[in-house]
Amino acid sequence: MQALILGLIIVIYLIDVTVTIINDRHSRQPLPEHARGIYDDAQYNRWLAYSLANLRHSLLAKTVLTGLLLVLLASGTFGWLERLTSSWFQQPLLQTLAFLGAFGFLNFIISLPFNYYRIFVIEEQFGFNKTTHRTFILDMLKSIALAIVLGGGVISLLFLLYTTFSEQLWLFILAAWATLSLIIVVLFALNTRIFVKLFNKLTPLPEGELRDEIEALARQAGFEVRAISVMDASKRSSKLNAFFSGLGRTREVVLFDTLLEKLKKEQILSVLAHELGHAVHKDVPRLLGMQIVVLAIYAVLIGLILQTPALAQAFGLSGVHFGFSLVLFGILAEPLDLLLSFPVNAISRRAEYAADAFAARLAGTEPTASALLILAQENLANLNPHPLYVLLHYTHPPIPERLRAINRQA
């Protein structure tokens, strides 16, 4: 049992690394005809250097974290951690939270240098980073607090369901699925109101021509804009973005301040028209629906792990341990995620094409295409990813493919 799980981790790691290297080599081949002209020579060379730096960093981080997990599993460290946390507390829930907290803290400590290097060396070197050390530390502390409150709350709920229905597996699976589905919907509804504001400052877009045209554009698509806010994204990065939030016919618009700096009014409207396209096509409810279906599969997997004591005993634990079962779930869910990424990402990419087409009709073909062009240039997008990497990792089509589809529509 132990060898099987360790082998699974190694296989998934090798697949991930192989696909990443194949993608990198493919990306450096001569660009296809429809991708030429997006970057000039200087921009293309800058992208090559940025891509190589990120590749080396991600491979090193992935290797270290995977190696750490293998060592912890093979050495029986989780069995030792079970005994240690059991000596701290008598209450099983507190033992579980302490077990997962200790494992999470170790991962955090190992990941911290990699996160720091990515932001303050790689992103800084290529002109993207705007994060100060103070902001980095505050973000880190907020993330820890959020993980403790939200993560601890979700784990406590699942633990309560498990202790209540431990003798009836199907009831636990059903209750866990319903609980996780409700949490996902609530978190989505509260995302902008609470979670975005924990890390960013949102200020109302001033009255004026741009605000009036955004509201008119939304009404034209059949939506009422509840609020239009500008997010201080520039305090962390120079990259561009915008998004809509909310459910139903009332939406809230959030614009990155970097987007307002780099795009013209017509291009900004085309970006928002793209987001409105998602709303008109009901892509958000569809996405939530897919996540709820996937959660059902996850709930079954968690239930099966909790009903198999041999899994925990193979790694030095005394028997079924709720905290270690969640660690095992994270490991065993990876091949499942790999398989699910094909259909889920394909549906997402199809939705992006449809939203682009909607934006081209509503805001104009030229502004939509030129906005995508600037987004690619400013964010140093990969213009020639390998098709397999796209299938596995891209929720959005590559920029050249999106531009070609818009031009075909025109």
What does the pLDDT read at residue 161? Answer: 94
Q: Which residues contact 400 (CB under 8 A, 6 or more apart)?
A: 31, 32, 34, 35, 38, 383, 384
Same domain membership, residue 207 and residue 182: no
Cα dihedral 141→146→149→153 (10° resolution): -150
Q: Look at residue 273 and give its three-state secondary structure.
A: helix
DSSP codes of every residue in 143-197: HHHHIIIIIHHHHHHHHHHHHHSTT-HHHHHHHHHHHHHHHHHHHHHHIIIIIIH
Domains: count for the chain: 2
- Domain identity same for 223 and 170: no
Beta strand 250-256 pairing with 224-231: parallel
Residues 401 and 252 reside in one and the same domain? no
β partners of residue 204: 229
DSSP per-residue letters across 41-76: HHHHHHHHHHHHHHHHHHHHHHHHHHHHHHHHHHTT
- Considering the domain architecture, whether residues 299 and 399 belong to the same structural domain is answered as yes
C-alpha–C-alpha distance, residues 323 and 329, integer Å: 10
- Rounded CA-CA distance 308/325 in Å is 9
94, 120: one domain: yes
In this prediction, residue 248 carries a pLDDT of: 61
CA–CA dist 314, 89 (Å, integer):
24
pTM of the model as a whole: 0.88
pLDDT at 407: 86
Domain boundary pick from 247, 280, 313: 280
Instruction: Say if residues 218 and 280 touch (Cβ distance below 8 Å).
Output: no
CATH of the domain at 232: 3.30.2010.10
Q: What is the pLDDT along the chain (410 residues), one digit of tens a residue?
A: 788 999 999 999 999 999 999 999 998 888 888 888 888 888 888 888 999 999 999 999 999 999 999 999 999 999 999 999 999 999 999 999 999 999 999 999 999 999 999 999 999 998 888 899 999 999 999 999 999 999 999 999 999 999 999 888 889 999 999 999 999 888 887 777 788 888 888 888 888 888 888 888 888 888 777 778 888 888 888 888 877 776 665 567 788 888 888 889 999 999 989 988 888 888 888 888 999 999 999 999 999 999 999 999 999 998 899 999 999 999 999 999 999 999 999 999 999 999 999 999 988 999 999 999 998 888 888 999 999 999 999 999 999 999 999 988 76
Last residue in a domain, options 280, 309, 331 = 280
CB neighbour class for 166 (10 Å; exposed up to 12, middle 13-18, buried from 19) = middle
Do 396 and 263 belong to one domain?
A: no
Q: What is the pLDDT of residue 249?
A: 58
The boundaries of the domain holding residue 275 are: 202-280
d(CA 107, CA 344): 28
- Domain ends where: 248, 280, 312? 280
Interatomic CA distance for residues 115 and 121, integer angstroms: 10
According to the model, what pLDDT value does residue 116 have?
A: 95
